[in-house]
Amino acid sequence: MTAAAHILALPLAHIGHWLWVFYLIPVLIVVGGIIHTTRADKRRKKDGRGH
């Protein structure tokens, strides 16, 4: 590898160990969505009862 290539090398040697994060994101989105809608639902009901 030339010196220029060394300078441009990205520190990604161990990125493979972090690929699992990409598989976790859809799960987190779904779980987050469920929690958000459930809380919003409860809040709406509470407000409805208060009036």
Partner 1 sequence: MSFLPYVPFAHALVAKQDLPIPAWLFAWAASIVLIVSFFALSAAWRKPKFEDERWRPAAGWLPTALLSPALQVLCGALGVFLLGVAAYSGIHGTEAPDRNFAITFLFVTAWLGFPFFSAFLGDIFRFFNPWRAIGRVAGGGFRLIAGQRAAHLRYPDRLGRWPAAVGLLAFVWLEVVYGSSGGVSVGLDPHAAGVAALVYSAYTLAMMALFGVEEWCRRGETFAVFFGMFAQLAPFGVRDGRIGRRRPLAAATHWATVPGSAAVVLASIATTSFDGAQDGALKAAIQNTMEAAEKIGLSPLDALRWTDTAYLLVTFAGVAIIYALGVRGMRSVPGAPPYKTLFRGFAHTLIPIALAYLVAHYFSLFVYQEQAQFTYLLSDPLGTATTDLFGTAEAGIDFKLLSPNLIWYVQVASLVAGHVLGLTLAHDRALVYWKDYRRASRSQYWMLAVMVAFTCFGLYLLSVGNG
**What type of residue sits at position 46?**
K
**What do you get for the CA distance between the two ends of the chain, in Å?**
72
Which tokens in the block code for residue 10? 């990205």
Q: What is the pattern of x (binds partner 1, CB under 8 A) and - over residues 18-37?
A: -xx-xxxxxx-xxx-xx--x
Q: Which of 15, 51 has the CB closer to partner 1?
A: 15
Which tokens in the block code for residue 11? 């520190």
**What type of residue sits at position 14?**
H
Total chain residues near partner 1 (CB under 8 A): 28
Residue ranges binding partner 1 (CB under 8 A): 1-2, 4-6, 8-10, 12-16, 19-20, 22-27, 29-31, 33-34, 37-38
